[in-house]
């Protein structure tokens, strides 16, 4: 008998004598009941059945139930949503990511909340159906009371300071949605008219609102009501009547522009022009936009999504996220502005270009320790052939 074998034997014998196997702890009554429930509902879990009866309960995946749908214009609607019990609330001006199933695929989009905290606990978003907009068109045309949607907690820094001041809002199209949430929180409207809250007295607000035409101007009635009550000063500009807004005209439209902090939300072109204008004059500007501006376009290429077995041809101006979804690939996504990082996937091989800066990110097999290089697919386009781990 070898020494090692003898050692093994003695240790084994000692274990049998001095260390009896511990008994597994007896399950609690709750645990036994849960085990029975799981056996009875297999292959589903009890939570799957609870989702059918109480999907908004505490501890469930955060969802909301659409309770009202209000048309705003021919192509826009406000959805009033009862959020689940775990909704943490929001600050006016923030946005929420909404998940909806379209043709069997869950899609996520970010929408501004168009009210401050409400007494009934509901939240609301206003959606404008955009051409070829898969989710926006679905929400505007297909939403019905009773429909469940998936939610994430509110996010965003596009909010008013709480201590008051002089402000200019510049909004274009659906860019008015976060602003109307701030204004409704400051100046709520009751059946008797606008309520004048003491905390709103510290705010001096001018709104320059731009729309293609008056019929396409979302929330114009709300803005006019606040203007008529002397609570804001409204400057409405319609492209078909006044032409496209030249930001240089702001100093005429708003004579005390230099005394105000500007908050702006709208298309990237308008925000870029405002940034240049305000930087040249040393003025404060806070912006919010729903899509990243494409500034640099290069060559495209093929994108191979390894997990799905799909390869797509993508031009140099189309985000990889959009190209993949157009080909039917289920992709993680979020804000679609390069902010939330909800769309990040590993680039295993090849190169992609950041559409905002032109910066090219490359990945070479064997040099990334098998992990790939994380890239944001919502603001990255193919720069030649590339492989994305999906």
pLDDT, tens only, 188-206: 876 667 778 888 999 999 9
pTM for this one? 0.69
Task: Please tell me the predicted confidence (pLDDT) of residue 238.
Answer: 93
- Cα distance between residue 104 and residue 289, in whole Å: 28
> Nearest CA to 322 among 350, 288, 292, 295?
292
Question: Domain limits of the chain?
Answer: 63-151, 165-288, 301-388
Task: Please tell me the predicted confidence (pLDDT) of residue 4.
Answer: 35
For 385, residues 6+ apart whose C-beta sits below 8 A from its C-beta are 301, 302, 303, 304, 350
pLDDT, tens only, 135-172: 899 999 999 999 999 999 998 889 999 899 999 999 99
| CATH architecture observed for domain 165-288 | 3-Layer(aba) Sandwich (3.40)
CATH number of the domain located at residue range(s) 301-388 in this protein: 3.10.20.30
Q: Max Cα separation, the chain?
A: 102
In the predicted structure, residue 15 carries a pLDDT above the cut 50: no
Residue 216 to residues 15, 52, 54, 73, Cα–Cα distance (Å) = 81, 39, 39, 6
Backbone angles phi, psi at 329, to 5 degrees: -85, 130
pLDDT, tens only, 67-83: 999 999 889 999 999 99
Task: Please tell me the predicted confidence (pLDDT) of residue 30.
Answer: 62
Query: Which stretch, 6-20, 257-271, 361-375, has highest mean pLDDT?
Result: 257-271
DSSP string, 48-95: HHHHHH-TTSTTSPPEEEEEEEEEEETTEEEEEEEE-TT-----TT-E
In the predicted structure, residue 89 carries a pLDDT above the cut 90: yes
The class level of CATH for 63-151 reads mainly beta
Q: Tell me which residue has tokens 């804001």.
A: 232
Determine the average pLDDT of the residues in 311-322.
Answer: 91
Residue 262 to residues 164, 165, 209, 335, 351, Cα–Cα distance (Å) = 13, 11, 13, 23, 38
Domains 63-151 and 165-288 share a fold: no
End-to-end CA distance of the chain: give it in Å, rounded.
56
**Cα angle at 252 between 248 and 258, to 5 degrees?**
80
């Amino acid at each position: 008998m070898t020494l090692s074998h003898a050692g093994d034997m003695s240790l084994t014998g000692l274990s049998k004598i001095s260390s009896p196997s511990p008994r597994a702890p007896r399950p609690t009554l709750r645990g036994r009941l849960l085990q029975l429930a799981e056996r009875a509902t297999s292959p589903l879990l009890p939570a799957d059945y609870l989702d059918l009866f109480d999907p908004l309960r505490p501890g469930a995946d955060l969802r909301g139930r659409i309770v009202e749908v209000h048309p705003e214009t021919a192509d826009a609607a406000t959805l009033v949503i009862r959020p689940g019990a775990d909704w943490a609330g929001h600050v006016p001006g923030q946005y929420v990511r909404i998940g909806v199933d379209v043709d069997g695929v869950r899609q996520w989009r970010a929408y501004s909340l168009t009210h401050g905290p409400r007494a009934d606990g509901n939240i609301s978003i206003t959606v404008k159906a955009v051409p070829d907009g898969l989710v926006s068109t679905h929400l505007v045309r297909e939403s019905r009371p009773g429909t469940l949607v998936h939610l994430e907690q509110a996010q965003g820094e596009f909010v008013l300071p709480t201590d008051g001041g002089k402000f200019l809002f510049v909004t274009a199209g659906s860019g008015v949605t976060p602003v109307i949430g701030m204004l409704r929180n400051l100046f709520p409207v009751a059946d008797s008219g606008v309520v004048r809250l003491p905390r709103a007295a510290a705010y001096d607000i001018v709104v320059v609102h731009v729309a293609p035409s008056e019929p396409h101007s979302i929330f114009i009635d709300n803005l006019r009501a606040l203007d008529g009550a002397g609570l804001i000063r409204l400057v409405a500009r319609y492209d078909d009547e006044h032409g496209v807004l030249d930001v240089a005209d702001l100093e005429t439209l708003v004579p005390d522009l230099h005394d105000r902090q500007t908050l702006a939300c709208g298309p990237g072109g308008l925000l870029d022009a405002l940034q240049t204008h305000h930087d040249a004059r040393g003025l404060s500007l806070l912006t919010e936009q729903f899509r990243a501006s494409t500034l640099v376009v290069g060559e495209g290429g093929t994108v191979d999504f390894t997990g799905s077995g799909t390869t797509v041809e993508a031009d140099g101006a189309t985000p990889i996220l959009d190209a993949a979804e157009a080909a039917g690939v289920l992709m993680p996504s979020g804000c679609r502005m390069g902010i939330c990082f909800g769309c990040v996937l590993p680039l295993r091989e090849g190169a992609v270009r950041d559409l905002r800066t032109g910066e090219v990110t490359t990945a070479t097999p064997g040099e990334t320790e098998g992990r790939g290089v994380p890239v944001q697919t919502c603001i990255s386009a193919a720069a030649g052939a590339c492989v994305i781990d999906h």
